[in-house]
Amino acid sequence: MNGKKSFVAASLAYVVLGLVLLFFPDLTTGFICTAVGLLLLAYGVTAVISFFAGGNGSYSFQFELVIGVFAAILGGLFLLKPHKLLSILPIIFGLYILVDGLTNLKRGMDMRSYGYAGWTTTLVMSVVSMVLGAVILWNPFSTHLLLVRIIGASFLYEGVADLWATHMLDKLIRGE
């Protein structure tokens, strides 16, 4: 898949993720916690069993044991205390949206260097993305579900903004 197609696919994934988070916040966060918890627990248990079943005591096997125990504990926490661990997700999503906004800012500057008169729209959209990311990071919302909906709306906006910028840049490169 070439760069443009993968970027469009990622943008569409943002739109879908945004819609799911926006309309099904509780179900989504519960699913994420359960899936991550099960994966970490399975990895951790497998690593610990592997260490005791065939480990040779080398440093790499000891490290695998430590990682396995840590993963199993973290997986258990995701399954038993999901709402406490969900406080980490907004930080990750906020940082991601902020960085993506910075990437779009660069894209807008590239459009300006190509002489595209509408580069300011991309610039404004990237600033909005960066503001949304910053708002998520500062977490001024009182409930978790509202925050998940805000994250969903941000991803929805991010996907639409990325699709628009890609379309406009493609149009500019084709000379339309």
Mind listing the pLDDT tens digit for each residue in 57-108? 555 567 778 888 998 998 998 899 887 777 676 777 778 888 888 988 888 8
Place of tokens 């997986």: 75
Q: Looking at the 3D structure of the chain, how many domains does it have?
A: 1
pLDDT at residue 55, as a whole number: 58
Considering the entire predicted model, what is its pTM? 0.53
pLDDT at residue 41, as a whole number: 92
Please state the rounded mean pLDDT for residues 4-25: 84
Range 14-42 burial, b when 16+ CB lie within 10 A, else e: bbebbebbbeebeebbeebbeebbeebbe
Lowest mean pLDDT among 87-91, 114-118, 147-151, 166-170: 87-91
pLDDT at residue 143, as a whole number: 53
Percentage with pLDDT > 70 across the chain: 88
Domain holding 36, by residue range, is 3-174
Lowest mean pLDDT among 25-29, 33-37, 107-111, 144-148: 144-148
